[in-house]
Structure 1
Amino acid sequence: MKFVHLEFSEQIATVTLDHPAGNRINFQMREELLEAFGQVATSDSRVLLVKAQGRDFCLGGDIRDWPGLRASELQPRLEVFAKAIDVLDTLTIPTLAVVQGRCMGGGFELALSCDLIIASTSAGFMFPEALLGITTLQGGVYRLAERIGRNKAMEMVLLSEMVEATRMAEWNVVNKVVDEGRLITEAETLARRLASGSPQAYAATKSLLQVWQQEGASAARAALYEITMPLFETTAVQSALRTAVEAISLGQPIPSNIFASQSAEQREVTLIDG
C-alpha cells in the first residue's frame, strides 16, 4: 500500500498524504515523501501542493512504530523524513501546504517547511511531543520561532495545546483561512496563479531568503545583486519589461500572466549555499 501519491497536472505537482486514520507518518511514508519531493525537484513543475486525504492533514509521526527501538535504530529512520524536508526546503518553486483538521507534530513541521499555508476553518495546529517527553524532531520549534517569535514558539511546544487556524493566521503562521468546502478550490486557484508567475523570480526570492535565514541580513545584502541581476539577462524578463513599459505608457496597469509560456529551461536558478 502506498501512503503518498504524486500527480502532475498543468505544471502543478501535488503530493497527497494518504494513510487512513490520521495520515500518521510511518517509516514507509517517510521514504515515499523523500522520493516524491525528489521527483518534483527534477520535474518542470512550477508549484507544489502538499495536501492530505481524510479529515485530518496529519497527526504526526506514527509512534506505534517506535517503542522498543534504541535511539541508534530510530535516528536513521527519522532522518529519512529530515532528508525529505531538506529536499522540500531547497525546491526553487513555490510550495503550498493545504491543511484541514488536525495538523500535529511532524505534520506541522511538514506544513512549516512549505512557503505558504492555506488552512480550513476546521484546522488546528499542535506540537504534542512534550506529552511524550521529547521535543520537535525536524526543527519545528525554530521554524515556528522564525514566524511567531521565541516566546510563543516555546509556549506551543512546552504546553502542547491545539491552536486554531484563525489564531495561527493572526500569528503569521497560516497565510489564509477559508471555509471547509472551499479549501481545495482556493488552494488550486492560488496554485494556478503561482504557476503563471516567473519561476526564475521565485527561485531568486527563495535563494535570497535562504541566505538571510542562514547568515543574516548582512550576508543577504552582500548576495543581493549576485542573485537578482542575472534575471535581467533572461528573455522572459526583457519581454516582461517591454510589455510593462507599453502598458505604463498607455496609462494601463502592468498585465498579469506574462510568464505563462516561460519554459522550464528558463527557470533554472541555483540556490546559493549558506
Structure 2
Amino acid sequence: MTRHTVNASILLTDHPLLERPAAAREAGFDAVEFWWPWPETATPSAAQVEEFVQAVEGAGVQLTGLNFFAGDMPAGERGVVNDPERRDEFRANVAIVVEIGKRLGCKHFNALYGLHADGRDAHTEAATARDNLTYAANAVAEIGGTVLLEPVSGAPGYPLKTAADALAVIDSLDVGNVRLLADFYHLVVNGDDVAKVIANHAEDFGHIQIADSPGRGAPGTGELPLQEWIAAAQQGGYDGPIGLEYLAGDSDPFAWHNSARTDAETA
C-alpha cells in the first residue's frame, strides 16, 4: 500500500504548528513533512528547534521531508538558493537542517531555488545556486540525505517551471544526491506532460507531492489521474512516500484517503 506523508505546513492549519504532527497521527498517518517552520529566520534558536523536534517525536510520526529556509514565503519569496547576497544566511541554515535531520531521521530536504531578481545577472544567480546546492548536498550527505529541487507554479519569477528545468540544474552539479521533487500539481499547471515525465524520469524522482487540479485541492476534487500517475511512478522505480500537499477546503481534508483505505480493507 502507498505510504502517504502529510505536509503539515499546508494541511492541518487549524492547529498550531507544533500540534500538527499529533493531529496527523490522530488522522491516521505515521509521517509528516514541513516547509521551513520559521519563515522569519534561517537560524531559529536552540529552544525553537528543540520544541519542533519534541513535537514530532512526541507524536510518534516520522519526519520524511523538510524544506531549507526559503525566505519570507507568506510575502512571496520562494527560496534564497540563487541569491548571492544571502549565501551566508543559507549556509547557516544548512547546519540547522542537518541537525534536525540527524535527530529525527529525516533524509529528504527541499531547496527552493529562488526568484529571479530584476537587475540581477541570471548567470550569477545560476552559479550561486550551483554552489549552494553543492554545499547543501555535501552537508546532508553526512547523514545519508538527499537535496530535492522542485519546479514551482504560481510564481512568474521562479526560473524552474518544468521537470526539464530542474533536471538541467541537477545535471550541472558534480554531486549525486540532488534529485527531482516531482510535484504533479505544479508540473501540470506549468504545462508539463506529467505522464511523459514519469515515463522518462520516475527513477530520478527524489520525492513526489500531489494535489488535484484545478484548485489545488484534495485528490478527487479535480481532473488529474493522480492514482494512475502514482502507480506508473512506482512501476518506474519510485519507492518513496507520496506527499500530500494540497489545500484542505471546508470539508474533511482526508475523506478521500479514509474512503480509499476502507475500500482496500474490505476488498
TM range (shorter): 0.3 to 0.5
Point out the structure with max Rg over C-alpha: 1
TM-score by length of 1: 0.35
**What is the TM-score with the length of structure 2 in the denominator?**
0.36
More helix by share: 1
